[in-house]
């Protein structure tokens, strides 16, 4: 029995299939280094987050959000010097960001540079007077500077913005208890006495 040659139509069909399908396209990464860094940051895998965000910078994602997230990762690691470094870079790119202003203030406060922290919280509140975290942080840094009356008044302002947030982190009972303890150590301190009266009236 002789060989049976394929028909012309079957040959053309095979050629068309090869041309149409071709070689498989290269796989594209589904997630960027910036996105992966953010994911690690949410999971508190801080070292991995930092590495991914640094790779994002190398890729050209030189943006305020990248520097801010790097700063936050270092802040959570209590590496405040590095946190300040990245927050400052973020602020250069986005000088009116209430988020970055507040974050940089928190880093300075952790370094006990209270006057710098106060200035940044106030700037954040100038940008957005309803920024809850900056409002409570300002009260805290005023207290750290022993400006107790101003701290008490600022605390009450912050409570008006968001009572629920305050109750979770800075409940009135906790604040009053803290002032009472300080007053026991320094019973003649009139600033503390006035601050306590202001809070108890509300």
Instruction: Name which of 147, 153, 94 is nearest 117 in CA terms.
Output: 147
What is the spatial distance between Cα 35 and Cα 50, in angstroms, rounded to a whole number? 12
Q: What is the pLDDT of residues 95-119, one digit of tens each?
A: 999 999 999 999 999 999 999 999 9
Confidence of residue 7 (pLDDT cuts 50, 70, 90): low
Residues 182 and 101 in one domain: yes
What is the spatial distance between Cα 134 and Cα 139, in angstroms, rounded to a whole number? 9
Range of the domain at 110: 96-202
Task: Give the 3-state secondary structure of the chain.
Answer: CCCCCCCHHHHHHHHHHHHHHCCCCCCCCCCCHHHHHHHHHHCCCHHHHHHHHHHHHHHCCCCHHHHHHHHHHHHHCCCHHHHHHHHHHHHHHCCCCHHHHHHHHHHHHHCCCHHHHHHHHHHHHHHCCCCHHHHHHHHHHHHHCCCHHHHHHHHHHHHHHCHHHHHHHCCHHHHHHHHHHHHHHCCCCHHHHHHHHHHHHC
Domain C-terminal end among 61, 94, 127: 94
Residues 90 and 101 in one domain: no
In a domain, 87, yes or no: yes
Q: What is the pLDDT of residues 52-100, one digit of tens each?
A: 999 999 999 999 999 999 999 999 999 999 999 999 999 999 999 999 9
Residues 104 and 200 in one domain: yes
- CATH of residue 70: 1.25.40.10
Per-chain mean pLDDT for the chain:
88
The whole-number pLDDT of residue 21 equals 45
Instruction: Name which of 64, 135, 70 is nearest 105 in CA terms.
Output: 135
What is the spatial distance between Cα 202 and Cα 200, in angstroms, rounded to a whole number? 5
Give me the number of domains the chain comprises. Answer: 2
Residues 51 and 122 in one domain: no
CA dist list (Å): 123 to 60, 118, 131, 162 = 29, 9, 11, 19
pTM over 0.85: no
The region, left, alpha or beta by phi > 0 then psi within -120 to 50, assigned to residue 60 is left
């Amino acid at each position: 029995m002789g060989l049976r040659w394929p028909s012309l139509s079957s040959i053309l069909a095979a050629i068309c299939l090869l041309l149409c399908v071709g070689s498989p396209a290269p796989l594209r990464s589904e997630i960027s280094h910036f996105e992966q860094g953010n994911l690690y940051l949410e999971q508190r895998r801080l070292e991995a987050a930092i590495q991914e965000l640094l790779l994002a910078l190398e890729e050209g994602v030189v943006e305020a959000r990248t520097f801010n997230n790097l700063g936050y990762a270092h802040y959570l690691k209590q590496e405040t010097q590095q946190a300040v470094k990245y927050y400052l870079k973020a602020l250069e790119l986005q000088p009116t960001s209430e988020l970055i202003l507040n974050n940089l203030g928190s880093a300075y406060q952790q370094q006990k540079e209270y006057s710098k922290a106060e200035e940044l919280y106030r700037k954040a509140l100038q940008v957005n007077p309803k920024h809850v975290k900056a409002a409570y942080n300002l009260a805290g840094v005023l207290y750290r500077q022993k400006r107790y009356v101003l701290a008490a008044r600022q605390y009450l302002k912050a409570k008006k913005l968001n009572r629920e947030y305050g109750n979770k982190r800075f409940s009135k009972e906790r604040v009053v208890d803290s002032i009472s303890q300080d007053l026991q150590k320094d019973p003649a301190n009139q600033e503390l006495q006035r601050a306590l009266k202001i809070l108890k009236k509300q």
